[in-house]
Amino acid sequence: MGKTILQALIDEVHYPIPTGFVENKLMKRNLSPASEVTTQVLNSPAFIGCVADCLYSLIEAPNFNEADKSFSLPERTLILKKVNALYASIDEPEVDIDRPKVYFGE
């Protein structure tokens, strides 16, 4: 058996994300993590959406660190551009980095 869809998604993202999270994103988009990956799957809107979902999770992480590296706001902005390009390619709405909100009064 070849590579699974789960492994292909982990390889595509390049950054460590919990396997359970990746499995959940695949199942949410009706892809079976244990199924063998094909070119058709890799080019499907569901898989592309999963890549975007996983990359977006890195942006949302309050302090993402890998091997003593952390993502600065400009780096997160670059990832966000890639995420939005992926979503646009499958006709899904763009997302933004949540910024702290200040509320005045009640």
In this structure, which amino acid lies at residue 11? D
Which backbone phi and psi does 91 adopt, to 5 degrees? 60, 40
Q: What is the pLDDT of residue 106?
A: 46
Q: What is the pLDDT of residue 25?
A: 96
pTM: 0.81
| Contact yes or no for 52/24 (Cβ under 8 A) | no
pLDDT in tens, the chain (106 residues): 689 999 999 999 988 889 999 999 999 999 999 999 999 999 999 999 999 999 999 887 765 455 555 666 678 888 999 999 999 999 999 998 765 444 445 4
Rounded Cα distance between 49 and 54, Å, is: 9
Q: What is the pLDDT of residue 102?
A: 43
